[in-house]
Every structure is written in structure tokens, then in C-alpha cells.
Amino acid sequence: MNVVEVNKADYESCNADHPLHKWTTGARRDVVPLNDTRNYYFISGRGFCYGGMKVAVRVENRPPPPTSAQLTEKSDSSSSPIVYIGQLVLPANFIIAALWDAFTRIWNDGKDSRHMQRHNKGKLR
């Protein structure tokens, strides 16, 4: 199984002919650094993209925490307690690792299924 990073147009058309980057070790240990604030587009490089094996990741900067003036201003205008809901940000490499694991499991399950069908074909008579 291989995963390729592509641009948006290639992502939408499942075209792996012009990858920006390629991961092909297949060891379920590839780490994709998502260090820049931008959109990333990943597809399966073996045609599984047409079946939906693709993912777009948007990396954003964390929002700044509210200032004490903003908190005071809100508490004066309302009697309800203020609850600041922080943005849960999962490490992007965890997301890519989980997707890679899913890709390889699906790939290996398909191989196992085809093997079992061939193996059991003669036994069903």
C-alpha cells in the first residue's frame, strides 16, 4: 500500500501521477509531518482512491486564549457562567498514522478474503 500527497485537483480526480510526496514502506510506521498551516491532500496511490481511500487534512493555528478583558466583559453582560470551550486538536501525525493503519488493514483484509475464497472453492462440493 502506498499513500501519496497530492494537490487539490489531483485529490479530487484521484490522480497519483504527480505526487508531492510518497510514502511506500508499508510497515504501518510512516509518519507524515504536518508542520505548516495549510491544506494537505492524501490519496491511495494504487487506485483505491476511487473507492474512497483519500483524506483531506486542514492544519490551522490554535486560537489565542481569551484575554482577561474579554472574560470580564462577557461576565458583566450576562449572569450565566462563562465556559470557554477549547479546540481539541489531535496531533496530525496521529491522524495520518490511524489512516495509514486503516488503509493497510483494508488492503490486507482484501488479500485474506481472496485467498480464503480460492482455498475454500474446492471444499464446497
Assess contact for 14 and 54: CB atoms under 8 A. Answer: yes
Closest CA to 5 of 30, 29, 27: 30
Looking at residue 100, what is its pLDDT?
75
68-78 residue pLDDT tens: 776 666 555 55
List of domains in the chain:
3-61+86-124 (2.60.40)
- Mean pLDDT highest for which of 12-16, 28-32, 111-115? 12-16
**Is 19 or 112 the better-scoring residue by pLDDT?**
19
Q: What are the pLDDT digits (tens) for 86-111?
A: 334 445 555 666 777 777 777 777 66
pLDDT, tens digit (0-9, with 9 covering 90-100), for 25-80: 766 677 788 888 999 999 988 888 988 889 999 998 888 887 777 666 655 555 54
The more confident residue out of 84 and 17 is 17
Q: Is the pTM value of this prediction over 0.85?
A: no
Kindly write down the DSSP assignment for every residue of 70-82, as one continuous string: HHHHHHHH-SSPP
Q: Residue written as cell 480460492? A: 118
> What are the cell numbers at 80?
450565566
